[in-house]
């Protein structure tokens, strides 16, 4: 049981500053599109004229190649877990940008390869197969680039939603690292064969800076900083405590944990240095406000990794990457808040329930009464801060709360004046978002963050 932290006094709406949460995503998108415009400007400045079918095809191939190369660096930077982006844009939103950009990048790379081969074959009056062989075997760095291209396409295929459903998170995660290999193999041919780079030292240096910068962000935030923090904070398991059928809490202790600057609602990627667990880092939310020497996560046994946590022993070393996510009080813009949880989605909301200031209402949905994890803590928090908690169960003959605008409106008067934090299974969260919009809750006041990345 964590120590309850008294919430701060209710504050007027004007005090809920959301400047960085709104401004940073807009500036990030503006910067990305400005870079794409700069890449197009590079082609424009280096192209005197375009004539004939071959010229148009080759020109289109150059454009798609430049955009694909630029997009690769952007995709790497988006998933470097830079705190400024992660804590304002949000991890899942960055992942959606990355996934959408990945689809465009694979399409651009395919178009680049086809257009360049087609345009070149028309220029030299040879067959497409013969020209492909010539380009791959006789141009500098093209064999490596072809291998990188195939790896990039393969990564795109396994990242497609249909393929993702057939893979475990860990398998997909490690296959995704092949993207870095693909970029390494393909990078050289851009500078040695690209008409916009050959003989232009300034542009070459700018391209190096783009890729080296993106690589440096990944190296620091995804590898070196987690290693440094693991050595500094020395996290260990203290206790594993059952909370509900198939749900358990892992209590951890460490040194100088305030330096992590974790907030309620955020998550870490946890790597437990125990047999069968050390090789993967899995995201779990904090289920209690972080304390100077104590952290806690609450996990449902939904797979091999999460089920194995029940066998953790006190003293097990832990590496924690994070904190990540923007599912925090910084997203709030109104003095009233509804927390809407489904199943184990209660974990980040339990931490927010204790620490969010102002008038807070919690609606917790589960299948059975015994599935209401952390119920004792929730009741204690509600009593301490005079908050309202609604429990909705469907079995046996329980008191379900349909996720409709009418039902939510009856339960929470003036619902449209609330910020709403939603966490639960994908189907439940999507239904809740539709109901909240139908009830008049503005889109910017509906906050949700998933681990579907």
Residue 8 clears pLDDT 50, i.e. is over it: no
Tens digits of per-residue pLDDT, 95-151? 889 889 989 999 999 999 999 999 999 999 899 999 999 988 988 888 898 998 898
Judge contact between 61 and 116, C-beta under 8 A.
yes
265 vs 182: which has the higher pLDDT: 265
Quote the pLDDT of residue 175.
75
The residues that bridge with 365 in the sheet, in sequence order, are: 342, 392
Tens digits of per-residue pLDDT, 371-383? 999 999 999 999 9
Beta-carbon contacts of residue 322 (< 8 Å; ≥ 6 apart): 260, 262, 266, 267, 268, 269
For the chain, the average pLDDT equals: 87
Which position has the token pair 């995704």?
Answer: 176
Quote the pLDDT of residue 199.
83
Tens digits of per-residue pLDDT, 218-248? 999 999 999 999 999 999 999 999 998 889 9
Residue 439 clears pLDDT 80, i.e. is over it: yes
Residue 357 clears pLDDT 80, i.e. is over it: yes
């Amino acid at each position: 049981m964590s120590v309850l932290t008294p919430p701060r006094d209710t504050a007027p709406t004007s005090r809920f500053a959301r400047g960085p949460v709104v401004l940073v995503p807009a500036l990030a998108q503006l910067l990305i599109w400005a870079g794409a415009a700069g890449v197009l400007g590079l082609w424009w400045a280096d192209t005197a004229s375009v004539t004939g079918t071959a010229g148009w095809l080759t020109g289109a191939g150059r454009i798609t190649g430049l955009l694909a190369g630029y997009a690769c660096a952007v995709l790497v930077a988006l998933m470097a877990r830079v705190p400024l982006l992660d804590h304002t844009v949000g991890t899942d939103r960055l992942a959606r940008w990355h996934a959408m950009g990945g689809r465009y990048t694979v399409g651009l790379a395919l178009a680049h390869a086809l257009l360049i081969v087609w345009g070149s074959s028309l220029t030299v009056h040879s067959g497409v197969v013969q020209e492909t062989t010539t380009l791959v075997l006789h141009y500098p760095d093209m064999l490596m680039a072809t291998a990188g291209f195939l790896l990039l396409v393969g990564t795109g295929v396994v990242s497609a939603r249909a393929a993702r459903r057939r893979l475990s998170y860990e398998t997909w995660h490690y296959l995704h690292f092949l993207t870095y290999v693909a970029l390494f193999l393909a990078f050289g041919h851009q500078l040695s064969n690209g008409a916009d780079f050959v003989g232009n030292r300034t542009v070459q240096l700018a391209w190096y800076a783009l890729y080296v910068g993106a690589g440096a962000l990944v190296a620091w935030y995804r590898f070196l900083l987690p290693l440094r923090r693991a050595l500094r904070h020395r996290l260990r398991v203290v206790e594993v405590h059952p909370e509900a059928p198939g749900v358990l809490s892992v209590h951890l202790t460490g040194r100088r944990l305030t330096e992590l600057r974790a907030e309620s609602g955020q998550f870490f990627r946890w790597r437990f240095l125990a047999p069968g667990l050390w090789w993967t880092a899995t995201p779990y939310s904090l289920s209690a406000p972080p304390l100077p020497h104590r952290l806690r996560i609450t996990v449902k046994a939904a797979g091999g990794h999460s089920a194995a946590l029940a066998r953790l022993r006190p003293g097990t070393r832990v590496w924690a990457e994070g904190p990540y996510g923007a599912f925090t009080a910084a997203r709030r813009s109104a003095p009233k808040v509804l927390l809407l949880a489904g199943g184990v989605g209660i974990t980040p909301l339990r931490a927010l329930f204790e620490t969010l200031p102002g008038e807070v209402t919690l609606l917790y949905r589960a299948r059975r009464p015994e599935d209401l994890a952390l119920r004792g803590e929730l009741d204690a928090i509600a009593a301490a801060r005079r908050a309202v908690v609604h429990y909705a169960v469907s079995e046996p003959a329980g008191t379900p709360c349909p996720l409709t605008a009418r039902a939510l409106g009856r339960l929470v008067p003036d619902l449209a004046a609330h910020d709403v934090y939603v966490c639960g299974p994908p189907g439940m969260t999507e239904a809740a978002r539709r109901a909240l919009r139908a009830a008049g809750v503005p889109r910017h006041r509906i906050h949700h963050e998933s681990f579907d990345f």
